[in-house]
Amino acid sequence: MTAWRRGKRALVSAEPGAGVAAAATAHAGALLTGAAGKSAWREAAYPFLLSRGVFVFLTYVATAYLPLSGQTIPQDPASRPLAWYHWDAVAYIRVARQGYSISADAAFFPLWPALMHVLGTPFGATPAAYYWAALVLANACFYGVLMLLYHLLSGDFTPAVARRAMYYLTFYPYALFFFAGYTESLFLLLCLAVFVLMRRDDMRSWWLAGGAGFLAALTRPTGIVLVIPLAVIAVQRFWLNGDQRARSPWWRKLAALAPAALVPAGVGVYMVYLGITKCNPLLFSAVELADWHRYSALPWTGIILAVQAVGSSAVPALNVLDLIFTLLPLGILAAGWKRLPQRYTIFAVCFALLTLSLPVAGPEPLASAPRYLMVIFPVFVIAALWGAHPRVDRLVMAVSPALLAVNVALFVSHYWVA
């Protein structure tokens, strides 16, 4: 009980502006243990199993009746098991098989293909083995995502909000990437782990949070933004909150920031590897520009270019969709950020700014932006809070799954989605 009170006092004092949401973190003493942990496992199972059944069914129907992109006849049923084997999944499988033998693949950070390699190699080390390894990993990680999301939000808000957020995330129009062999599931799992661990009031959990951030930065370069909420909360807890820790020696205060330093170290490790093997520690950045046509710009540059491209580009429909599902989460965040704990807002804003600062030079300036922005889980928290109104909830659960079904059908038919 003493630890419970100490954790509550630290969190409330760390975020004085978080209001009711911060005060609701009182029962955050255990990480997925006891009754709360069992509830998280059980609650996560419902949307997970339902959505996976929907994906399998849609894959079967789409491959049976829709032609592949550029063709006019239905797909060969024999190819149905490999319906999700294209786009970025191909690149990750290539890295899992042969490392970074192709320089352009340096844009794909190493943790995800390394896990695919570990799981797929005992089953033959073939492309098919790594493909199935990626699917298994992506879906296992997404189950973990739902579990941690429920555990986190039922503490910061209420179980009802947590439950709605799970369903909104699971059936978001671009949630198919939590099923495919992409990094979204692992990356979001690690981000949520950071936030779950940050809520606890012991240094062991704080170091584990830094470790999760380290792994997130090894998964995708945008994971480096996790250093900001970690550092901010460390300063608030150990420098500004006025309790005994704030009166600790200066070297202990600096030591409290050390776990946050693990996050950029994730990118640093990959840079060292590229420096040793490719003689260019910044190769991942160089190929982003040379091979994938991503460049650094002001956050609103891609949005302006996408608006201009709607009338002039060869892919106006894609630009319209990119704009809608880029501006939608940004609008939700702008309208509802005051209802979030401060650490959620910091993460969401920093991640959105970094993601939007890397547009694509070409006919689709916001290519993949809807997919990248999907991991900003505070957006789904705000939507879940609004979903307390039945009309809002019914609207979301009517429109979002329908759009998701369309995207799944397009994706397995080899059309570009995001």
Q: What is the Cα–Cα distance from 25 to 106, expressed in whole angstroms?
A: 40
- Residue listed under structure tokens 């099923």: 179
DSSP states of 232-279 as a string? HHHHIIIIIS-SGGGGS-HHHHHHHTHHHHHHHHHHHHHHHHHHHHHS
Q: What is the pLDDT of residue 25?
A: 33
- 196: tokens are 């779950």
Among 307, 314, 416, 329, smallest CA distance to 381 is for 329
Q: What is the Cα–Cα distance from 351 to 195, expressed in whole angstroms?
A: 14
> Bridge-partner residues for 67, per DSSP?
74
Radius of gyration of the chain (CA): 22
CB 341 within 8 A of CB 15: yes
Q: What is the pLDDT of residue 29?
A: 40
- 171: tokens are 């059936």
Q: What is the pLDDT of residue 261?
A: 94
Among 94, 98, 99, 91, smallest CA distance to 274 is for 99
Q: What is the pLDDT of residue 167?
A: 98
Q: What are phi and psi of 243, to 5 degrees?
A: -90, -165
Q: What is the pLDDT of residue 141?
A: 98
- Residue listed under structure tokens 């807002």: 345
Tens of pLDDT, residue by residue over 156-173, are: 999 999 999 999 999 999
CB 405 within 8 A of CB 59: no
Q: What is the pLDDT of residue 252?
A: 67
Q: What is the Cα–Cα distance from 55 to 40, expressed in whole angstroms?
A: 23
CB 48 within 8 A of CB 38: no
Question: Which residue ranges in the chain fall short of pLDDT 70?
Answer: 1-37, 241-253
Tens of pLDDT, residue by residue over 324-381, are: 999 999 999 999 999 999 999 999 999 999 999 999 999 999 999 999 999 999 999 9
Q: What is the Cα–Cα distance from 69 to 79, expressed in whole angstroms?
A: 14
Q: What is the Cα–Cα distance from 326 to 318, expressed in whole angstroms?
A: 12
* Per-residue buried b or exposed e for 269-305, using 16+ beta carbons within 10 Å of the residue's own CB: ebbeebeeeeeebebbbebbeeebebeebeeebbbeb
Measured CA angle at 216 (ends 212, 220), to 5 deg: 175
Q: What is the Cα–Cα distance from 289 to 358, expressed in whole angstroms?
A: 10
Domain residue limits, the chain: 32-294+383-412, 295-382
Q: What is the pLDDT of residue 6?
A: 38
Q: How far is CA 266 from CA 32, 109, 234, in A?
A: 26, 10, 19
pTM of this prediction exceeds 0.85: yes
